[in-house]
């Protein structure tokens, strides 16, 4: 349901829904059938292929949307605990979609040395499935983070000024630096 609410302007094929939500086909069929029967999702046929889209005319759409948007996504993301498998993690900052901050330019700031791109891609795919929306993330090394903060990189400074949470940190002075940057 979260997936359809957060992506209400797009049409998705059955295979897209399965892959983006990382759920099996039979479970997806069952949920789609229930959503169609209730009128929450519309089914369209294009060139012999079925596509599904949120029915924003659904009588309870606005109430469900408010519930989904107000719900706190951050604690539900069990996949985020797998971030340590990606490499030598120095810092993980959640913002944007994780903090229900729609104006955010970024959802996840990752500072990881020797990051495995394959493991990172798997992590992001799982997070997107849990959140129901594409995750905007930035990957830096500790050296790149230090350089950019010393240069007073406007993008990073704005991220730390926005609502955020330091999920994990091996950088002892990052909280002091963030409080200085906010001023």
Please give the full DSSP string across 99-138, using - where no structure is assigned.
Answer: GT-TT-S-SEEEEEET--HHHHHHHHHHHHHHHTSPPPEE
158 shares a domain with 85 = yes
25 alpha-carbon distance from chain centroid: 22
148 shares a domain with 112 = yes
Average pLDDT over residues 123-140: 89
Q: Which helix (H) or strand (E) holds 174?
A: helix 174-182
- Separation of alpha carbons 62 and 56, rounded Å: 8
pLDDT of the residue at 109: 96
28 shares a domain with 79 = no
- Separation of alpha carbons 67 and 34, rounded Å: 19
Q: In total, how many domains does the chain have?
A: 2
Average pLDDT over residues 7-35: 90
164 shares a domain with 118 = yes
Average pLDDT over residues 166-176: 83
pLDDT bin (cut points 50, 70, 90) of residue 69 is low
For 76-118, what is each residue's pLDDT tens digit? 577 888 899 999 999 999 998 888 787 889 999 999 999 999 9
130 shares a domain with 81 = yes
87 shares a domain with 36 = no
Average pLDDT over residues 160-183: 80
- Separation of alpha carbons 20 and 35, rounded Å: 17
pLDDT of the residue at 66: 80
169 shares a domain with 114 = yes
pLDDT of the residue at 181: 66
83 shares a domain with 66 = no
83 shares a domain with 16 = no
Residue 91 near residue 85 (C-beta atoms within 8 A) = no
Examine the fold and report which residue of 70, 99, 127 is the final residue of a domain before the chain moves on.
Answer: 70
Examine the fold and report which residue of 47, 70, 93 is the final residue of a domain before the chain moves on.
Answer: 70
72 pLDDT more than 60 = no
Average pLDDT over residues 1-17: 88
pLDDT > 90: percent of the chain: 48
31 shares a domain with 6 = yes
Residue 108 near residue 94 (C-beta atoms within 8 A) = yes
52 pLDDT more than 90 = yes
The conformational region for residue 108 under phi > 0 = left, psi -120 to 50 = alpha, else beta, is beta
Examine the fold and report which residue of 54, 70, 86 is the final residue of a domain before the chain moves on.
Answer: 70
84 shares a domain with 24 = no
107 shares a domain with 161 = yes
Residue 61 belongs to domain spanning: 2-70
pLDDT bin (cut points 50, 70, 90) of residue 183 is low
28 pLDDT more than 70 = yes
Structure token digits, residue 153: 């990189």
| Residue 45, number of CB atoms within 10 A of its CB | 8
pLDDT of the residue at 70: 63
- Separation of alpha carbons 75 and 94, rounded Å: 11
Average pLDDT over residues 40-54: 92
């Amino acid at each position: 349901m979260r997936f359809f609410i957060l992506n209400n302007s797009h049409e998705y094929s059955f295979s897209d829904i399965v892959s983006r939500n990382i759920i099996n086909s039979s479970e997806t069929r069952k949920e789609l059938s229930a959503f169609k029967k209730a009128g929450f999702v519309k089914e369209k046929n294009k060139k012999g292929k079925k596509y599904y889209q949120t029915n924003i005319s659904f009588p309870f759409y606005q109430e469900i949307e408010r519930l989904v948007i107000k719900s706190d996504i951050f604690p539900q993301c069990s996949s985020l605990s797998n971030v340590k498998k990606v490499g030598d993690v120095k810092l993980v900052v959640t913002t944007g979609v994780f903090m229900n901050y729609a104006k955010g330019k970024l959802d996840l700031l990752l500072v990881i040395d020797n990051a495995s791109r394959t493991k990172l891609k798997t992590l992001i795919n799982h997070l997107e499935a849990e959140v129901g929306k594409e995750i905007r993330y930035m990957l830096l090394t500790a050296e790149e983070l230090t350089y950019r903060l010393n240069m007073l990189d406007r993008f990073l400074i704005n991220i730390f000024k926005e609502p955020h949470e330091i999920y994990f940190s091996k950088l002892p002075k990052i909280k002091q630096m963030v409080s200085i940057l906010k001023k």
